[in-house]
Every structure is written in structure tokens, then in C-alpha cells.
Chains A and B, each alone.
Chain A
Amino acid sequence: MNCAPNKGGVIIAGSTSVQPFIEKVAEHFMEKYPDITINVQGGGSTAGVQATMNGTCDIGTSSRNLKPTERGLKVILIALDGIAVIVHRSSPVGDLSVERIRRIFSGHQKEWNESGIAGNVIIPVTREEGSGTRASFEEMIMGDEAISDACLVQDSNGAVREIIATTPQGVGYISVGLVDEREKAVAIEGIKPTLANLITEKYRFARPFLLLLREEPTGNVKKFIDYVLSEEGQEILAGSGLIPANKVAAD
């Protein structure tokens, strides 16, 4: 009942994948407007949609598109988060089919077909149970196959990247924006995860980061949303490794 919009603070709830990025933007926002408190909570995308519908939060967040049963909300795209499959920079592997990625991470394929990889074994690295990135990877690539218990597990994009960067036999997945020169993002079904391919949706393995609203934003809610979509807000998201919405829209 004290969650009535615009009374002093803004309550944001939903996707745990969006949460850290929105928190970062909110920090900068609160520095700029010290009298407005932004409260960011997790709960998951589905919880975000429901909280927005019944008004327990001012802004919901989702890291997936809304289902047909969830229509009626105002949806604002703030960024895209592509998922890249990465290998060691010296690896001869440049292109993987979805089928092969599935076989690797489900533990059915244990050796590289390519020559020139020491020991020839595949060392797959996955994310921990509960991770949003893992959930998206499972949904977009693994389908019904379960990720094998034999995979190494790390708890952040950075930790996965660190292992792949130092392991010639490794293969893992991280946000596209976080791939650097120490490892190599492979093409999936022949399509590289470049910015252009992500924007044109040729590279399909990306998920939208959405803000959800029940009605037209006013007051502090509007101020915050305007800030997220401003040059400055989008810059923060881009700096965190996302493809900001203004780049998507500009195309």
C-alpha cells in the first residue's frame, strides 16, 4: 500500500540479470538527484511482470520478451545482451553449430574434432545454478538437453573469461560485450556475434533487457526512465558490456 508510485522513491523489481545493470544506473541517478531514492529488487522476470501488473512496483524489469498472456504493459527496451560462445584465442575452432555446442555442454562430445589443440580434450566452462546467463544459454541453445555435471563452473562472466583465456582446450559462454582480445568469440551457424549482426538480429542469441510499466510514466518514474535512455544512462549500460538501446534503434 505504501508502494503508490511517485511518493518520494521509485521501486524497481524483476529480472536478476537486469538488476546489476539497473543498480549501476540507479547509483549514478541518485548521485544526480539525491532526493529521489531508487530501490532495485530481484525476483526474476516473471515476478517483474506480475509486480508491474498488480502495481507493487513502479517499474518492472525483464530479460525476455513478454508472453502473449502478459500483454497490456508498456515495454521499454533499454539494451540487448548477446551471449557469445568463446574459445581460447589460439584455438582453430571458429564456427560451431548449435547442435555441436549442445553435444559439448551436455557431455556427449568430449574431444575436439579440430587438430592442433593440446590433448584434444574439450574443457567446457558453465555458469552456476541460478545464473540468468546460464538460464538464457539453456533456453536459447541447450533446449531440452541438460548441462553436464562434468562442466567446470564459475560464478561470473569474468571468471569464465579468465579460464578460457588461459585454457587452450576451453569453451564457455559470456555476454558479448565482455569478450576481449584474450579469447575468441566463435560464429554460431556461421554468424559472428558482432554488433551489426546483433542489431539486425542475424545473430539470434541475444536477449532484450526491458523496463515494464503499467501506464505512462510521470514524475520521478519518468525522470528515471528518461535518465536510463539518455546518452549518459546508455553510456553506463554500454560500459557494463551491453548493447545500449540507442544503438539498436539507430539502425
Chain B
Amino acid sequence: MKDKIAEKLLLFIALSAIISLMLITFFIFQQGIPLIFKAGLGNFLSLKWAPTRGGFGILSMVVGSLMVTAGALAVGIPFGLAAAIFLAEFSSKAIQKTLKPIIELLAGIPSVVYGFIGIVILVPFIRETFGGPGFSVLAASIILGIMILPTIVSISYDALLAVPNTYREGSYAVGATKWQTVVLLLLPAARSGIVAGIILGMGRAIGETMAVIMIAGNALKIPGSILDSVRTLTSTIALELGYAAGDHRGALFACGSILFLIIIVLNIIAIRITSRK
């Protein structure tokens, strides 16, 4: 009897999570899609964003979101993967026990703190060293790259550890060096876990808002170089929702719908990659 109650209760809680996800999805599309039809697809995919005067073009923001996310991955993947390989294969237990919690601590730092560090240290550094406004694709990429490190490191690390030891022993037995073992055997064997970590990191990067608003500069123009300012979809929603009414508000929900679609597509690609054997 008690088992039955517990089962039903757990089922209800599990379903409520799924239902809230469905409600959010429905709400975002229901608020956003009408505007896309009203403004017309041509207007919606143009470069002119002036939502209080009938310009609903989100192209520059889509490009901005993708650029910043790509930049974050360019920073996050090499460092994250290197850290995971070092921790899993090249370090002693003592080092693992110290370093892993420290890297995971990065995930606990609020994004506004990352943004603040970006404004105070990174932005002036970029401005003085490379020129431009400092508020740039580069600054956002570096900060986001650091923010997604803990995700990439811990999931890749777990994936590497999950590779059975017999693989390593077999590899050494045929005379492979440790490095050859890692590159030729362990990385391919742990591929699906590593890709999952990268995809999760990418999801965080494309959805991150606060830190990006603070350091990306938010200029609407499509950046000509990584030293130029950039505006992402999430930034636009957060920047403008406070004052938005009518069509402007609808346009922001339309941005949310597009963001949703981008994330769904990325996830589908990720699932495809990880399930391919």
C-alpha cells in the first residue's frame, strides 16, 4: 500500500516537471509566433532591429549568439579536455582529489560575478592591448569559456574514468605509450561522454545572459572582428523586456522561440553524434 502511494507520488512529481516544460514551451511559442507572422518573415530575418518603430530583424542577434557560443567553445574545449585528460590519466589520486573540487567550484560562482570580473579586469585589458572598445566577442568568449569549463571537465573526466582498465592494459601490452593510449584509444572510447559534456557546456554558453550583457557591449551591428561589440538573443530579451509592450514584447518572445529552436537543433545533433557507434 505504502509502495503504491510512493509510486504515485513520484510519478506525479516526475510528470509535473515535464508538464512545466511543456507549458513553458507552449507559452513562449504562443507569445512569439504571432509576431513573426504579423511582421513577416522577411522583416523578422532582416538586420533592422527597431521594435518600437516596426523593425523586428533578429539576424544580427542570431549571428551574435552563435559567434559568442563558438568563441566560448574554442576557449572551453581545449582547456576543459586537457584538464580532464590530465586529471583522469596523468595525475595522482591526491592531485585529483584537490583539483577536481576546485574546478567544480567554478560552476558555483554566480554569473554576475564573472561579468564583474570581466568588466574590471578583462575588458580594460583587451581595450588597452588590442584596441577597440574592449566590450567584445573576445571578452565574452573568454569569460563564457571559463564558465563552461566545469561542465566539460567533470563530464569528460567521468567518461574517461568509465573506460575499463583492460583497455589501457591491452594498449600498454602491445607497446603503446601513455599518450598514444589516450589519443588513440581512450578519447574515442569516451567520445559520447565527452560530446555530451561539450553540448551541455554549449547550452550554458548560448543561454548565459547576465555575464554577456555586462561584457559584450550589446551593439546591434554584426561584429566585423572579435574585438567588436556583439549582441546576443538572450541579452536582447533581458535588456528590453522591462519596457517592452505590445509588438515589442511579442518580438522578444519571438527571440525566445528562435533561441529555443536553436537549442533543440543543437541537442538533436548532439544525440545523433553520441548514439552513433
Q: Which residues of A contact B (CB under 8 A)?
A: 16, 42-44, 118-119, 121, 123, 128-132, 146, 148-155, 159, 162-163, 166-167, 169
Instruction: Identify A150's interface contact among B124, B128, B219, CB under 8 A.
Output: B219
Instruction: Identify A152's interface contact among B52, B131, B219, CB under 8 A.
Output: B219
CB <8 Å contact, A150 and B242: no
**Chain B residues near A42 (CB-CB < 8 A):** 243, 245
**Chain B residues near A150 (CB-CB < 8 A):** 219-221, 229
Q: Can you list 18 residue pairs at the A/B interface with Cβ under 8 Å?
A: A128-B239, A130-B240, A146-B50, A148-B221, A149-B220, A150-B221, A152-B135, A152-B229, A153-B217, A153-B218, A153-B220, A153-B239, A154-B239, A155-B238, A155-B242, A162-B119, A166-B119, A166-B124
**Chain A residues near B220 (CB-CB < 8 A):** 149-150, 153
Instruction: Identify B248's interface contact among A118, A129, A155, A167, CB under 8 A.
Output: A129
CA distance A38 to B243 in the complex (A): 20
CB <8 Å contact, B219 and A16: no
**Chain A residues near B50 (CB-CB < 8 A):** 129, 146
CA distance A121 to B51 in the complex (A): 29
Say yes or no: is B207 at the interface (Cβ < 8 Å to chain A).
no
CB <8 Å contact, B243 and A130: yes
The dominant DSSP class at the B interface is mixed
CB contacts under 8 Å to A, within B47-72, are 49-52, 60
CA distance A154 to B212 in the complex (A): 11
Say yes or no: is B213 at the interface (Cβ < 8 Å to chain A).
yes
Q: How distant is B141 from chain A, measured CB to nearest CB, in Å?
A: 17
CA distance A131 to B239 in the complex (A): 10
CB <8 Å contact, B243 and A153: no
Say yes or no: is B191 at the interface (Cβ < 8 Å to chain A).
no
**Chain A residues near B52 (CB-CB < 8 A):** 129-130
Say yes or no: is B168 at the interface (Cβ < 8 Å to chain A).
no
CB <8 Å contact, B49 and A151: no
CA distance A12 to B240 in the complex (A): 23
B218-247 near A? 1/0 per residue, CB < 8 Å: 111100000001010000001110111100
CA distance A163 to B243 in the complex (A): 22
CB <8 Å contact, B245 and A152: no
Not counting A129-B50, A130-B52, A159-B214, a sample of 18 additional A-B residue pairs whose C-beta atoms are within 8 angstroms of each other reads A42-B243, A42-B245, A43-B245, A44-B245, A123-B133, A128-B218, A128-B240, A130-B243, A146-B50, A150-B219, A150-B229, A152-B135, A152-B217, A153-B239, A154-B239, A155-B239, A162-B119, A163-B135
CB contacts under 8 Å to A, within B101-121, are 119-120
**Chain B residues near A162 (CB-CB < 8 A):** 119
